[in-house]
Every structure is written in structure tokens, then in C-alpha cells.
Amino acid sequence: MTAIDLPRPAPARALPFRLLAPAAAGLRDFAIALALPALILLLWSLGSAYQMVPQQILPPPAYVFENFRDMLASGELLQHAGISAVRVAGGFALGASLGLLLGIAMGLSEAIDDYVRPLFTAIAQVPTLGWIPLLMLFLGIGEALKIVIIAKAALVPMVLNTSAGIRGVPASYMEVAEVFGFSRWQKLRRLILPAAVPPIFTGIRYSLTKAWTALVAVELLASAEGLGYLLVWGRQMFWLDTMIVAMVIIGVVGFAMDKILALGEARLQSWRIDA
Amino acid sequence: MASGQIDIRGVSKTFQVDGRPLVALERVDLDISAGAFITIVGASGCGKSTLLRMIAGLERNHRGEIRHGGQVIAGPSLERGLVFQEPRLFPWLTVAQNVALGLENAKVSGETRRRLVAEHLALVGLTGFAQAYPRQLSGGMAQRAAIARALVNRPGILLLDEPFGALDAMTRAHLQGELQRIWAHEGITAVLVTHDVDEAVLLGDQVVVMAPRPGRIAEIFPIDAPRPRDRKDEDLIRLRNAVLEALDAIKDEAPRSAVPH
Ligand SMILES: Nc1ncnc2c1ncn2[C@@H]1O[C@H](COP(=O)(O)OP(=O)(O)OP(=O)(O)O)[C@@H](O)[C@H]1O
Ligand SMILES: [Mg+2]
């Protein structure tokens, strides 16, 4: 690449500040984000230290952490987490790729949209939990049930965001394509798909989040393994430390996935700002 | 180079705005002979862009007929290039890739393609910015990239909607010169909309003065001054004043009702 004579950023004097400012801001945001969790942890410690809640109901944080270490060391936690991860990966891959295809088809074709959207909306309105009883009758309570439930949860946001992204390609760009005599395929490849990448990525992000929450729901109701199962199991055995560990892990993993995808999304959106 | 003649016959265009009809163009007649350079001036909203977009084939549902080389225009064609009033660069492509969009359907080899893109970037003074993205360009630079994109496949008819409006005086003068050179050298037909009466008189074989509400052609000034032209030429200055007077007269005229007939 040739040297680009781009408009120069700020003068050298301001440079150290410019470099530090984002890092400092990031650190501050991080601290702010941790404030509430820290407060809850504090109340929890105080609550159990002063026996405001019986220890059988709310074990102290140190106890829960110890349990977490034991479960980690024994491999139990990783085994459950691994099973959950495989289920989410399978269901998400299935649901998101079907959702992508359906969303593209609905975005491109008014006719397909007219046929599919009413039923799709109705299906999407029934929450994931509502599908489990019916699907149990057809699929039993094996892996197929879990994959299908997770896939359904992943499909919905993918379809909505993809079709909206494709519909949302600005008419002004479509006119450019027309002036240059683009074929349908050229419009799709050169304009519609690239323009729809950011909304599709948003779809992937919501899709994965939904898949993760659906996983927990289906494991709560119909599973003998996985993080969701750990949660019910802990409650049934009154091992509340186990239950809390499972909850925290589910929350932290979900949070981390969403955060990572949000970063990718922000990068993709950057050209949108002045588009 | 058969760039073909453009015949505009009794063209009217009505838009629906808030459920009410708005006459953007009313019974426009204009002949643009092959190889001519036509400039169009007129107040904002008098239908200049609409007329240009109709010649390009982008506006449907109008009354009257527009023919290109005898054929009724039914849609866009690679033979008619358009520089939009806004740059409309694709933000996910580099400047060079944006210019190459103009060659997407040209039958040229990859090598020629690269050469043509580079030549046209040089023409508009954007060589150093080939790999930059549109968001890294100023408004004037983006418009120059859009001009390169429209020129790169050398359409027989070049339609330009205020292409130099966002440029500084130096760059504008340079690109006016380049446009004249390309037009003369390639024998293409050019139709250029502008707010700048000096520019209209400098470049045009004919200056079409349009009037608003409803949009129509008020007067056509032939410019017979020999080329290359000098903007300080006495004749040109006289013509410029005449065009300005015509525009002033239109401004003072009471607006007619905009109800279609
Ligand atoms: N797509 C549209 N829908 C409704 N009204 C429109 C549309 N396009 C143009 N118009 C109307 O038609 C009239 C002419 O618009 P046009 O863009 O052709 O004006 P113009 O002469 O190019 O103005 P300017 O010099 O400001 O660019 C305006 O009143 C405008 O509001
Ligand atoms: Mg205009």
C-alpha cells in the first residue's frame, strides 16, 4: 500500500493524553460496572456473617467460592459446562444459519416475506419455555429436544435482524447500482450483503444470547447434565452453594459472549457513523 | 463515438407530497444534440435534479417522452453516466474500489481496470487516497471520487448534478478544465446542473434557465464563444449578466399555482 496522506490526528503535544485517555476511560467504566456486584457481594457477606439469613439458605461467599474450587478441581464443573457448550454450539449453528438464510430470503423477496412473516411472528411470540412440552411429545427428552429448542431461540433474532438489514439498504445506494447496470447478483454481492453485514452481526449477537438462555431453560426442565441441570440439582439437594456457582457461571459466560460480540459489532458499525 | 441525441418531449412529472400532488416538472421540451455541452441553472427546487434523473432513467411514471438516439428511455443504461448531487460512495469500499464499481460491467481485463482506476483517481487528484475509506474524505474529496466513478467507463452521455458545488475555487477550476478536455477529446455529450452561473456560461454550448413552481424551462441561452474559453472574456461576462437577469426576473415573478392540469 502506498503511503496515505490522511488528515493527521492531533499534534504531538496532545499525544500522551490521547493515548492514555481511552485506557483511563476504559478503566473507569470497568470500575463503575463492578460497583453494584461489589455492593451485592458486601451485603451477601454481611447478611451471612450476621446470620440475617440462615446459612442453609444463603451460604457465605467464601463457602461458595470453596465449593467452586472443589468443583473445578474435580472436573465436575468443566464437564457440565462442556456439555452445555456443545449443546449451545449445535443449536446456535443450526438456528443462526437457518435464520440467516430465511432472513435473506425474506429481506429480498416481498412474496416470501408475505407468506412467512405472519406464521413466523406467531411462532416467535410463544416463548421458548412454551415450546418444550409440545416438542417433548415429538422428540422425547434427548439431545434433539435441546438442539431444537436452542435453535428456535437463535433463529428468531437472526431472521428479524437479517431481513431488516437487507430491507434497510439505502435507496440512494440502490440507484448507484442501477446506474451502473448491476445485475441482481451484482447488487446482492456488491451492495446488499455488505450493507447488511452490521445488522446481521447484531442478529448473531442476540441470537447467541437467546441460545444461551434457552439452553438453561431446557436443561432446567429436561436434562441430567449441563449447567442448567446443576442449578436444579443444587436446589433439589439443597446444595445452595452449588446452585449459586452454576448461576454465576451461567451469568458470567453469557455476559462474556455478549461483550465479545458487542466489540466486534462496534468495529463493524464504525463505517456506519457517517454513512 | 455515437453518443446519440437526447430528445425530451412534453415531459411532466408530479410527485405526491403529503398526499397532495406537487408538480416538479411541467411540459419540458429540450433537444440535446450529440456531442453538445448543456448546462442547467435555476432556483433550488425547480426540478433540475429530477430532469437529470429522468434522462438517466431513474424516474418512472412521468408523462411525455425522453428518447436517447431515437430509443425511448425505459431505465438506466451504461451509456448514460450520472454524478449524483451527493457522492453516494459505498462506505465499506475504499476509494479505488468505489471507482472500480463504474467498471463492474465493462469488458476490460483486470490490468486495464487497475490502470483506468488509477488514471481517474489521478485525474481528480486523489491518487494518495486510493486505499482510504469514504469516511476519511472531506465532502469535496468524496465528490471528486464520485466524479471519477462516473467517468471511468466513459459513458457517451455524462449527466452531472452540481458536481463541483462542494469544491474550493482552485479545484473547481481545475476540474472544469478537465471536464471540458474529456468532453472535447471523447466527443461525449454532457449535461451539467449547477448553481454557479459563471460555470454554466463557461462550460455550456447552451445555458438552460429553469423556473420553479411548477418546474419548467424559462429560457435557453446559446453560448457561441469559441473554445478554449477564458472566464474573463467580455462576451462571456455579458452572457453571464443576461442569465443572471433572467434568473432575477423569475424570482420576482409571482408563483403560479402548482396544481396539475
Ligand atoms: N422523490 C421525491 N418525492 C417527492 N417530491 C420530490 C421527490 N424528488 C423531488 N421532489 C420535489 O420535486 C421538486 C424538484 O426537486 P429537485 O430535486 O429536482 O430540485 P432541484 O432543482 O434539483 O433543487 P436543488 O437545486 O435544491 O438541488 C422539489 O419541490 C422536490 O421537493
Ligand atoms: Mg438538485
Q: Which three cell numbers stand for residue A41?
A: 457481594
The ipTM assigned to this model is 0.90
Q: How many CB atoms lie within 10 A of CB A275?
A: 15
Q: B6: exposed, middle or buried (C-beta count within 10 Å: 0-12, 13-18, 19+)?
A: buried
- Residue holding cell 424570482? B251
* B96 found inside a domain: no
Contact B99, B145 (CB under 8 A): yes
Q: What is the rounded CA–CA span in Å between residue A149 and residue A275?
A: 38
* B40 found inside a domain: yes
* B39 found inside a domain: yes
Three-state DSSP at B222 gives strand
Contact A229, A222 (CB under 8 A): no
CATH number of the domain that residue B67 is part of: 3.40.50.300
Provide the chain B residues 43-82 that lie in CB contact (below 8 A) with chain A.
56-58, 75-78, 80-82
Question: What are the pLDDT digits (tens) for A49-67?
Answer: 888 878 777 888 888 899 8
Question: What are the pLDDT digits (tens) for A195-215?
Answer: 999 899 999 999 999 999 999
Q: What is the rounded CA–CA span in Å between residue A28 and residue A49?
A: 31
* B142 found inside a domain: no
Q: What is the rounded CA–CA span in Å between residue A204 and residue A162?
A: 9
State the nearest Cα–Cα gap between B62 and chain A, in angstroms.
18
* B114 found inside a domain: no
Question: What are the pLDDT digits (tens) for B26-68?
Answer: 999 999 999 999 999 999 999 999 999 999 999 988 999 999 9
Alpha helices (runs of H) in B42-109, residue ranges in sequence order? 48-56, 95-100
Q: What is the rounded CA–CA span in Å between residue A79 and residue A225?
A: 9
Structural domain count of chain B: 1
Question: What are the pLDDT digits (tens) for A96-125?
Answer: 999 999 999 999 999 999 999 999 999 889
* B32 found inside a domain: yes
* B95 found inside a domain: no
Q: Do B78 and A181 touch (CB under 8 A)?
A: yes
- Sheet containing strand B189-193, edge to edge, reads B80-83, B157-161, B189-193, B37-42, B206-211, B216-222
* Structural domains in chain A plus CATH codes: 62-271 (1.10.3720.10)
**CB of B61 closer than 6 A to ligand 1?**
no
* B51 found inside a domain: yes
- Which structural domain range is residue B68 located in? 1-76+191-261
**CB of B44 closer than 6 A to ligand 1?**
yes
